[in-house]
Every structure is written in structure tokens, then in C-alpha cells.
Structure 1
Amino acid sequence: MKAVLYQVDAFADRVFEGNPAAIVPLENWPAADVMQAIAAENNLAETAFFAPEGESYRLRWFTPTVEVDLCGHATLASAHVLFNHLGYSKPEIRFETRSGTLVVAREGDRLVMDFPAAKPTPYPMPEAIAEALGAKPLVWAKTSNLMAVFDKAEDVVALKPDFPALARLLAPLNAGLIATAPGEDGIDFVSRFFAPSHGIDEDPVTGSAHCTSVPYWSKKLGKKDLVARQVSKRGGTLWCTDAGERVILRGRCADYMKAEIAF
């Protein structure tokens, strides 16, 4: 079989920023192990596959090692491909996923995603994980991921985790780790995201992690609309809204590559 592959930098104003995702539009589904092999070959944080399903599209996401339940940046990039390369003309796209129906719409030069909120609850201090992370945060919380809250942005930027140790400790929890802190200069909060047990030491920009961090910071800061910056090496900006049981995430995309793959 052959398929077109688009590589898109999501939550990016230009190439080489944000989080790269490989997007593979399909008419028919290959076997899951074939999609996993393609994702491993791409060796990006996420490879997304979508195919028509009624009036919607079925969307699936793979890291180099596992299929995941939710991925924000690859959803944004998939919508970008449909709107900008495949002639999709309706005002919004509905994706059917393992996390339910996800809707992406245009809003000026940004794309808007409507995701389920994942409100964190307090979590006892995991001493071994804090040691592997390399610093002790002020607060620990958990949803499907752990979240470590620090005093200031510099604390998050300075983190140098022991990734083999972190992978070993996070694997039994089947979780990634969000490190976050208040922002400055127009940024409400910053974050980094580590998922070494899922084959990704650090994800450049993680839409799904903001389903947890946005409700936390919205309550903490007393505001619904937030500007977030993921302070990875590549970096990326998200414009977010706490909508109660939903989180609205906005971002831009930049095209890097269009290719044909054979499998």
C-alpha cells in the first residue's frame, strides 16, 4: 500500500517550532501493527491516522511504541491537513476517537479544539519520582497523568530529569508527568511534559496535558481565558479557555513536509 504523509509543526507560528506530527489520511484502515510500525519508523512523538466515517472522521494516534487515548497536537495537525490540503470546506471537523467526539473549527488564523477536561486531584508526594525529576515541587496532583506544580517558570525550565529512572517509576502508573508553574510577561502558566515510559522523554508541546493544567490554573488564577507556553527546547503557545467540563485549546500550524510512504 501507499499513502501520503504530511509532517506538520503544531502549536507553531513557523517551522522548527511547536510539536511535529506525522499525519496519514486513509481511505481504508491497515492493521494496528502496521500503523504502529509506521509510527516507529517516523520516530516522532505522534503519528495520526484518520479515515472517513459517515459525516465525521475516525482518528487514531500512535507514539513510536503505543497507541494513545488522546493527543492534542496531532489532532490540531490533522485538522490543518483537512482544511488546508484536502479541501475540507465545512466550518468544523468532527473526529471520532478513543476519547469520544472531538471538534476542531477555524477561528481567524488559529484552529480551535474542544477537549474533555481532566481535572486534577491532590496526590501524595511520590519521593522517588521527585528524585528522578530532579526537584521537589510545591504540589502534586493526578489525573491520567501526574502533575508537579513549581513556584516559578525558571524551576520548570531548569529541570533535568533522570529519564531511565522516570520511565521505570511512571510505567506502573501508565502516566506521563506534567511539570508546570506560573508564567510572566503575558503568559499565565508554563509547562513541560515528560512521557519516557511511552517512548517520549520530553514532548515539545502537549495539547492533551492542558486538559489537566488549564482547569488547575483557571481555578488558581481566577480566570477562564489563559495563555500557556510549553517551555521545551522547541517551545509552543496555546490560547486556552476553561469551559467547565471541557477545555478549549487554540493554536496555529506550520507545514514542514509532504511525502509518499509505502508499506
Structure 2
Amino acid sequence: MKLKLYQIDAFTDEIFRGNPACVVPLKNWLPDETLLKIARENAVAETAFFIDNGNTIHLRWFTPEIEMDLCGHATLATAHCLATILDYKSNRIIFDTKSGALTVEVKDGMYYMDFPSRMPETATLPDIITRALTIQPKEVFKSRDYVLVYDSEEDIKNIKIERSIFDLINLDPGGVIVTAAGTDSDFVSRYFTSQSSILEDPVTGSAHCSLIPFWSERLGKDKLFARQISERGGQLYCENKSERVIVAGKAKTYSVGHFWIE
């Protein structure tokens, strides 16, 4: 079977920046085991698989290890693929996903994703995570992910993770967000996942389901500009809308090709 494969850098307008995702259109669903093997072979943080059902598009996301309940950058990559390569006829794309219906509005090269809000609550950090961090947070919160708040952007840049310790905890399907107010943005973040092939995710749209309501409340504003300051880096244009959040960004196509499975 010959399948199409698109690799797209999300949350950036430059190739080799942002977060790379692979996008695979399907006519029918393959076995989950096969989807996972494809994701492992692609060796990027997420591979998005979709089936166009006409009015909606059924979308699923796989890391090299598991199927995810929500993924921002691979959703953005899929919308970019549909809009710029596959000639999708509408500027409003409705994805049917494990997190419910997700709408993406396409306008002037920007993709506005309507995601659920996940306001984090005060929490206690597990000792394993504490021991894995070279710099300790000032505050700890949790929703799907742990949200660790620091004093400065410099702290976020300088944090290192001791992986041999960090991987002792299973956070499936969540991770650890480290965040602080930004110097040239409203806030910055980095994102780490234990027991995964990719320790630090370059740009994590789903993490902003928690970061947006948190920083919106703390900064007293609904529209925010965020940077994820991983090595590749990315920019996110955010809006808090009570029960929902808007996570927006740009994307660039890196490659277009095919692959074959038996």
C-alpha cells in the first residue's frame, strides 16, 4: 500500500524551526499497531493521521510511543497541509478528535485553533521530578500536565533535566511544563515528557490549553503572545475565551513524499 506523507514545521514561518510533525491522509483506518509503527518510523514528536469525512475530518495523533488525546502542533500541521497542499475548499476546518470537535480557522497564513481550556490547579510536585530538575520552581500547578512556575525567562532557558531520574516517573499522557513571564513576550515555556523518545518537545500547542488561562488570569489580559524557548523555538498567538482557548500559529512545509507498507 502506497501512502502520502507530508512533514511540516508548525508554530514557525521558517523551516528547521518550530515543531516538525508528519501528516498522513488515509481512506480507511489502519490497525492501531500499524499507525504506531508508522509514527515510530517517522521519528518526530507526533504523526497525525486523518480521514476526510466531508463535513468533518477525523483526526488522530500518535507519538512514537502512544496515541495522544490532544496535540496542537500536529493539528496545525494538518490544517496547513489541507489548506496549502490538498486544496481544502473551506477556511474553517472541523476536526473530529478524542478531545471532541476542534475547529481551525485559516486566515492570512495563520491557523487559529479552538481548543479546550485546562486551567491548572495548585499541586504538590512528586519528589522524582524535584530531584530531576536543576532549578526548583516557585509554584506548582497541575492539569493534564504539571505546570511549574519560575521567576524569570533566564531560569527557563537554564533548566536542565536529569533524564535518568525523570524517566522513573510515568506521566502518560501528560508532561512537565516550565514557564515564566517573558522578556519580549507575555510568557515563555518549555515542555518535557518522561519515558519518551523525545525528552523535550520543541513547541507544544496542547500545553497552552493550561498556560493560556493561567497567564491570562495572572497578567489580567485575554490576548497573549507566547514563545516556547526550546532549541528550535516557536511562536504562539493566544487568546483566553473562558471555557476555550485559541492557539494560533504559522507553519512551513518541509517535505512531500510517499511511503509503502505491506
Shorter chain as denominator, the TM-score bin is: over 0.9
What displacement does 1:199 show? 3.3
SS of 2:199's equivalent?
strand
What displacement does 1:90 show? 0.9
Aligned residues: CA RMSD: 1.1
Matched residue, 2:74: 74
User: Compared with structure 1, are the counterparts of its residues 158 and 65 closer, same or farther at alpha carbon in structure 2 (3 Å cutoff)?
Assistant: same
- Give the aligned residue type for 1:212: S
Matched residue, 1:202: 200
Matched residue, 2:12: 12
Return the structure number with greater helix share.
Answer: 1
- Superposition pairs for residues 152-167 of structure 1, below 5 Å? 152-167=152-167
SS of 1:113's equivalent?
strand
What displacement does 1:54 show? 4.3
What displacement does 1:166 show? 1.1
SS of 2:27's equivalent?
coil
Distance in 1 separating the partners of 2:197 and 2:144: 17
SS of 1:168's equivalent?
coil
SS of 1:80's equivalent?
helix
Task: Please say if 1:178 is aligned against 2:201.
Answer: no
- Superposition pairs for residues 34-183 of structure 1, below 5 Å? 34-169=34-169, 171=170, 174-183=173-182
SS of 1:197's equivalent?
coil
* Counterpart contact for 1:66–1:198, Cα < 8 Å: no
Runs of 4+ in 1 over 6 A off after TM superposition: none
What displacement does 1:107 show? 2.3
* Counterpart contact for 2:91–2:107, Cα < 8 Å: no
- Give the aligned residue type for 1:99: S
SS of 1:81's equivalent?
helix
* Counterpart contact for 2:171–2:193, Cα < 8 Å: no
- Scaled by the length of structure 2, the TM-score of the pair is 0.97
Task: Please say if 1:243 is aligned against 2:241.
Answer: yes
Matched residue, 2:231: 233
Distance in 2 separating the partners of 1:9 and 1:202: 16
Q: What percentage of residue pairs aligned between the two structures are identical?
A: 46
SS of 1:193's equivalent?
strand
- Scaled by the length of structure 1, the TM-score of the pair is 0.97
CA deviation string 1:174-222 (max 9, x = no partner): 530000000012x000000001224320000000000001110000000
Distance in 1 separating the partners of 2:209 and 2:192: 15
**Aligned positions, number:** 261
CA deviation string 1:113-166 (max 9, x = no partner): 000001100002433312202211011000011111000001011011012311
Q: Which runs of 5+ in 1 are unaligned?
A: none
Distance in 2 separating the partners of 1:173 and 1:75: 20
